[in-house]
Amino acid sequence: MHASSATKALEELLSRPEGTWSPAEGALAIARLGRPGLAPEPYLRRLDELGRKARERVGRARHPRFVAGAVASVLLDREGFRVTGTVDAPEHCFLDRVLDGAPATPTLLALVFIEVARRCGFRFDGVGMPGRFLLRRDDGERPFLFDPLDRFQPVDLARCAEIVHQATGGRVSFREGHLRPITASQLLARIAANLKAVYWRAGDYERALTAVQMILTIRPGDPREIRDRGRALFLLGRFGEAIESFETYLAHNPRGEDADVVRMLLQEARAGLSP
């Protein structure tokens, strides 16, 4: 029941054009995986309340650094929002739980910031840079960047290059294309991907499968998610459905780096169907 409630809510939301729904609405649809009967309205009102408090703090400020500092002060100092660098519990990925006081992933805390800043009249976007999720505010000719993991402190390009180097072991060189803003749908996909990882590590393959289905709702045909859907189905003993996912993956990625592993799982799934 929890799976159908969450997936259906997300599907209904994404059937509308992007721009007619907010990232918060999408995150609350995802949160139905934890609370199937979740009503979004109280949490949207909570964001409205935070927006009013932030508007008072922002005042007449317009410079991105002053605005970011004011919004961050309201969220972190006045309201007690917390960030966690380790995603080890589902509630860190659920917007309702975070608004109720649970620590948030950097991505989800950034979403709260985006929603509160929007209610103050300022647009901030998420940036999925390798190794760190950042916030971006375009102002004039250059973007201003802020780090949710470090109290929304400003980040310069040199620091971005350090983060990418550290995160990839030097295998990837920083480029400004890494700072491209992501869409609301891509932001939701990151939240669902964090949930998938949490459930997978916990051995909760039913909910991990639901998280995969959410990502595929956002990114239909994503080969890695099709592969992971097959893996989850296999671990749940749903071999017929796993076979279909593995075959779909291999049809589009016959020479993928993990194609041999998927072929082995496909053989085992077929054996599992044998009488």
The mean pLDDT of 135-157, rounded to a whole number, is 94
Q: Tens of pLDDT along 92-111?
A: 999 999 999 999 999 999 99
- Residues of 65-101 as b/e, b for ≥16 C-beta within 10 angstroms? eebbbbbbbbbbeebebebbeebeebbbbbbbbbbee
Q: Tens of pLDDT along 225-265?
A: 999 999 999 999 999 999 999 999 999 999 988 999 999 99
Residue 144 has pLDDT above 90, yes or no: yes
Q: Tens of pLDDT along 126-143?
A: 999 999 999 999 987 789
Confidence of residue 5 (pLDDT cuts 50, 70, 90): confident
Domain boundaries, the chain: 2-179, 221-273
Residues contacting residue 135 through CB under 8 Å, at least 6 positions apart: 68, 110, 113, 114, 124, 125, 126, 127, 145, 146, 147, 148, 152
Higher pLDDT, 85 or 275: 85
Confidence of residue 86 (pLDDT cuts 50, 70, 90): confident
pLDDT for 275 equals 67
The mean pLDDT of 166-179, rounded to a whole number, is 94
Residue 2 has pLDDT above 70, yes or no: no
Residue 199 has pLDDT above 60, yes or no: yes
Contact present, 23 and 95 (Cβ < 8 Å): no
pLDDT for 1 equals 39
Mean pLDDT, the chain, rounded, equals 95
Helix (H, G, I), strand (E, B) or coil at 64: helix
The mean pLDDT of 84-90, rounded to a whole number, is 91
